[in-house]
Amino acid sequence: MRLDRPRVAPLAEAELGPDHRAMLGDRFRSGNILNIFRTLIKAPKAFKAFMWWGGYILSDHNELPPRERELVILRTGYNWKSGYEWAQHVRIGKDCGLTDDEIARIKLGPDADGWTAIESAMLRATDELTKDSFISDATWADLAELSEKQKMDLVMTVGQYTQVSMMLNSFGVQLDDDLVLDPDLKA
């Protein structure tokens, strides 16, 4: 975590009015509202657009299989040192089939032992995008197993979670109570 307290404080339960609750929708009617959403909803129009685009990235319209999508999201969050993003998506990644060993290897990157050729290429593409905003010709060629749409979705997924990481880090969104900060992502 880059900050030990928020720069933009999330809305407290008592501050969530009917308009906020309507924007949050059914998903949060009976469950806990995550700090990311309690923070971003302070900019309501941006929140609505963010939720629409983020919904695409996490939906079946994104043609990356969920496990591979989470591989890319976790590497993006790790590269941007986003403790919140990492902690949230470790849980989601496990639900999508990633193992504890694979999650540990994501931190080691594309050259760690155990990745398939396409997994390594996807991690390398993520590293290139988070370093230089560009996938090299060599890495693009290594992604040949992916369809054109899947390659587009890979770039869009890294882009979305780059933005998310920047917001989380800069706004100082703190971990939700049920999350644990990875020791490798302490400031």
Rounded-to-integer distance, Cα 10 and Cα 142, Å = 42
- pLDDT one-digit tens code per residue, 26-57: 777 667 899 999 999 999 999 999 999 999 99
pLDDT at 30: 67
- pLDDT tops 70 at residue 58: yes
Question: Above pLDDT 90, what percent of the chain?
Answer: 88
Contacts of 124 by beta carbon, 8 Å cutoff, 6+ apart: 109, 110, 139, 142
Q: Which two tokens stand for residue 174?
A: 């703190």
The answer to whether residues 117 and 142 touch, using CB atoms and an 8 Å cutoff, is: yes
Mean pLDDT of the chain: 95
Residue position matching structure tokens 């999350």 = 179
Task: Give burial (CB, 10 Å; 0-12/13-18/19+) of 135.
Answer: buried
pLDDT at 21: 86
Confidence of residue 140 (pLDDT cuts 50, 70, 90): very high
Amino acid in the structure at residue 19: D
- pTM for the model stands at 0.96
Q: How far is CA 170 from CA 3, 4, 99, in A?
A: 8, 11, 30
pLDDT at 186: 85
Across residues 139-158, what is the average pLDDT? Answer: 98
- pLDDT one-digit tens code per residue, 66-82: 999 999 999 999 999 99
Q: How far is CA 30 from CA 27, 33, 107, 109, 147, in A?
A: 8, 9, 34, 38, 39
Q: If we measure between CA atoms, which residue out of 157, 121, 153 comes closest to residue 137?
A: 121
- pLDDT tops 90 at residue 139: yes
